[in-house]
Amino acid sequence: MVAATLFLAVASALLGVSNAATTDEWKSRSIYQVVVDRFAKTDGSTTATCDELYLFCNGSWTGLVNQLDYIQGMGFTAVQISPVVHNIENDTIVGDAYHGYWQDDLYALNEHFGTKDELLKLSDELHSRDMYFLVDVVVNNMAQAFDNTYPPPIDYALIEPFDNQEYYHTYCNVTEWNNSTNYQDCWLYPLGVALADLYTEKETVIDMFGTWIKGLVSNYSIDGLRIDAAKHVDNAFLPTFVSNAGVFALGEVLTGVVENFCPYQTDGLLPGMPNYLEYYKIISSFNDGSMDDLNTIRNQARDSCNDTAALGSFVENHDMPRFAYYNDDMALAKNALSYIILNDGIPLVYQGQEQHYSGGDTPLNREAIWLSGYNTSAELYQTAKTLNTARNTMINLTATAGTTSYVASQAQSLHVDTNHLCQVKGPSGYQIVSCIVNLSSTGSSYTLSIGGFEAGDEVVELFSCTTSTASNTGNVTMAMDKGQPKAYILQSNLNATGLCNTTTEASASSGGNLARGGASGVSLFLGVVVAALMVVM
Ligand SMILES: *[C@@H]1O[C@H](CO)[C@@H](O)[C@H](O)[C@H]1NC(C)=O
Ligand SMILES: *[C@@H]1O[C@H](CO)[C@@H](O)[C@H](O)[C@H]1NC(C)=O
Ligand SMILES: *[C@@H]1O[C@H](CO)[C@@H](O)[C@H](O)[C@H]1NC(C)=O
Ligand SMILES: *[C@@H]1O[C@H](CO)[C@@H](O)[C@H](O)[C@H]1NC(C)=O
Ligand SMILES: *[C@@H]1O[C@H](CO)[C@@H](O)[C@H](O)[C@H]1NC(C)=O
Ligand SMILES: *[C@@H]1O[C@H](CO)[C@@H](O)[C@H](O)[C@H]1NC(C)=O
Ligand SMILES: *[C@@H]1O[C@H](CO)[C@@H](O)[C@H](O)[C@H]1NC(C)=O
Ligand SMILES: *[C@@H]1O[C@H](CO)[C@@H](O)[C@H](O)[C@H]1NC(C)=O
Ligand SMILES: *[C@@H]1O[C@H](CO)[C@@H](O)[C@H](O)[C@H]1NC(C)=O
Ligand SMILES: *[C@@H]1O[C@H](CO)[C@@H](O)[C@H](O)[C@H]1NC(C)=O
Ligand SMILES: *[C@@H]1O[C@H](CO)[C@@H](O)[C@H](O)[C@H]1NC(C)=O
Ligand SMILES: *[C@@H]1O[C@H](CO)[C@@H](O)[C@H](O)[C@H]1NC(C)=O
């Protein structure tokens, strides 16, 4: 029965006609995630403190429209926003519904964020910039405030359209996170707000959601969805919902276990998911762990999921402590950001990452972006801009050249050790060769020789705008220093990127750092690299 349902869903997905962006088109995008309440105010002011992070800080869709230059300026080509529908208005012991996840009416908009016309304006404005519009949706539950008497005394008549108890699972607390029946059928976190768990196995619920999502996608010209808590709804519900939506979806499957994660894709339940497998290893690899672990999970994900290019590659989101919460070293943050943009998969950057915000657990990780003054000089803003631009350019150039597309060409690891992950991505002639380092800004000066080009290629390093020539084995000599990442492209492609107006020739040895570092320091670190290479071999 389940198999038959799945088959029908997959078949209808294949037959479905839609003008919406396909999974393949989404793979070439780069997504910036916005928590609407915390991104921009309608009047553009940047002074509201927003220090009570459980309450509304009053960002809006219009505020976002007015700050799209800031997002597009970093090279992003898609924007993900908080759920748009009406939420409960109660001021509860767990705060306000500023995040949008406490929906009580799917057919009304969240007036805190704006009006129908303002949401339409956001969609139009994104499309006029050739950016995709991705909206977060909740399918696991509807919400109602309650007084912490159990079972929660829900007044179902107040909920739209699921206005009767028959649409919900009988109350039980989620207590067994290893038992799918338990975490799919019971109610999540019943405290202050009851998240009445929808009976997503039921035909009427499936149909009502189908009608709703078709309407939402079409009314607001939505190009893609994030499906909140996808792991907590019935598996068979997901492909039918995605097929009804007719657009690409990233479903939240929060687990670092390959065997639990990848089946969502290989069984055809979801086209993509935020890549939680790599997420945990990115965090650990940059916090005293080994880059080998990141490389290993990347290989496992490739072996077990069928399309890692459709996974969202991220290191921060609104649910996890920010990267800088663990370690606020700027070089580490720059490397982590570089990795997710240069990796296979759809880069997915959470607002504030570019400003090196450092909040911890929710809601501390939901700081207002206006407090940064939208500083486009911030180091990580510039990092995102450089790498998104390089990636976007390679995507465009490979499309024009008719070669294997940049995104379809899987990244190949060239050199991996405890401290480095060096890779090449993109077909020959359009590749980006990069090295990600976890040594932090206290890392010393040394050189690394890494391949990925053809003999004699003229190349340019995008962060330093220095040029050099690949050796007769196609290697470039990278002047590593202060834990900075490196990203090289062919000089012949530089013009198309618009990056590095002026370039200088890299010094043959190590980019001019030899003198300062002193000979002994350099040989010490060369020794470390040689030792690391020996371990690898
Ligand atoms: C948001 O608006 C509410 C209601 O007008 C107000 O009480 C609150 O102070 C505002 N929050 C901020 C951070 O401006
Ligand atoms: C939540 O707000 C509604 C509407 O104001 C109100 O009727 C209800 O009593 C509130 N619930 C709680 C638990 O305070
Ligand atoms: C979940 O873990 C608990 C305790 O480790 C165990 O008793 C239970 O059988 C497990 N449930 C499933 C479905 O594996
Ligand atoms: C899993 O959870 C369901 C629902 O709570 C429960 O009925 C069942 O006994 C659990 N299974 C195991 C193996 O614990
Ligand atoms: C459910 O969980 C809440 C905490 O989330 C707890 O306070 C409550 O006692 C639990 N109720 C039942 C019936 O298990
Ligand atoms: C979409 O628009 C139609 C026509 O106005 C309306 O009937 C429907 O309820 C809307 N759906 C949603 C989800 O907004
Ligand atoms: C992955 O598997 C799903 C389900 O079988 C299928 O729909 C999808 O096309 C596959 N993707 C790739 C890239 O093979
Ligand atoms: C913007 O960021 C740059 C780089 O961190 C810094 O030098 C500058 O002071 C910031 N500008 C403002 C207005 O904060
Ligand atoms: C890539 O091509 C698109 C569509 O022509 C264009 O809008 C965009 O500016 C190009 N991006 C880069 C970085 O060249
Ligand atoms: C060239 O780079 C590769 C890694 O891509 C490395 O294994 C090899 O040792 C380098 N060759 C030389 C001559 O340094
Ligand atoms: C760089 O591009 C500009 C405009 O696209 C063109 O006029 C110029 O000739 C190009 N320069 C080189 C060196 O290719
Ligand atoms: C690079 O050149 C472009 C076009 O001439 C210009 O808009 C931009 O400001 C220059 N950037 C730098 C860093 O000089």
Ligand 6 geometric centre to CA of 219 (Å)? 6
**Is residue 29 annotated as involved in ligand binding?**
no
Assess whether the C-beta atom of 478 lies below 6 angstroms from ligand 10.
no
Where helices occur in 146-262 by DSSP H, the ranges are 180-185, 203-219, 237-245, 258-261
Find out whether the beta carbon of 54 lies less than 6 Å from any atom of ligand 1: no
Overall average pLDDT of the 133-152 stretch: 98
pLDDT of 529 over the 70 cut:
no
The residues carrying an active-site annotation are: 228, 252
173 pocket-lining for ligand 4 (C-beta < 6 Å): no
Q: What is the rounded distance in angstroms from the CA atom of residue 270 to the CA atom of residue 39?
A: 29
Structure tokens at 443: 């890392």
Q: Assess whether pLDDT exceeds 90 at residue 511.
A: no
Domains of the chain: residue spans and CATH: 2-401 (3.20.20.80), 412-534 (2.60.40.1180)
Best of 433, 450, 453, 529 for a ligand 10 pocket test (most atoms within 8 Å of beta carbon): 450
Q: Quick one: pLDDT at residue 289?
A: 98
Count Cβ neighbours within 10 Å for each residue of 369-387 and write b for 16 or more, e otherwise. Answer: bbbbebeeebbbbbbbbbb
Distance 178 CA to ligand 3 centre (A): 6
Is residue 513's pLDDT more than 50?
A: no
The strands making up 466-469's β-sheet, listed across from edge to edge, are 412-416, 420-425, 432-437, 486-490, 458-461, 466-469, 504-505
Between the CA of 422 and the centroid of ligand 10 the distance, in Å, is 11
Cα 144 from Cα 159, distance rounded (Å): 8
Q: Which atom of ligand 8 is nearest to the CA of 372?
A: 14
In 87-224, alpha helices (H) = 116-128, 180-185, 203-219
| Ligand 3-lining residues (CB < 6 angstroms) | 176, 178-179
To the question of whether residue 319 is assigned a binding role by annotation, the answer is yes
177 is in an annotated binding site: no
Cα of 92 vs centre of ligand 2, distance in Å, is 9
Residue 378 reports pLDDT greater than 60: yes
Mutate which of 55, 110, 366, 370 for ligand 1? The one with the most ligand atoms within 8 Å of its CB, which is: 55
Residue pLDDT, tens place only, 459-484: 999 999 999 999 999 999 999 999 99
Higher pLDDT, 526 or 400: 400
Q: How many A from CA of 298 to the centre of ligand 11?
A: 38
| Minimum-distance ligand 1 atom for the alpha carbon of 50 | 13
Q: Do you know the residue count of the chain?
A: 537
**Best of 423, 431, 475 for a ligand 10 pocket test (most atoms within 8 Å of beta carbon):** 475
Kindly indicate the confidence band of residue 9, based on its pLDDT and cuts at 50, 70 and 90.
very low
pLDDT-derived band of residue 508, with 50, 70 and 90 as boundaries?
A: low
145 lines ligand 1 (CB under 6 A): no
On average, the pLDDT of the chain sits at: 92
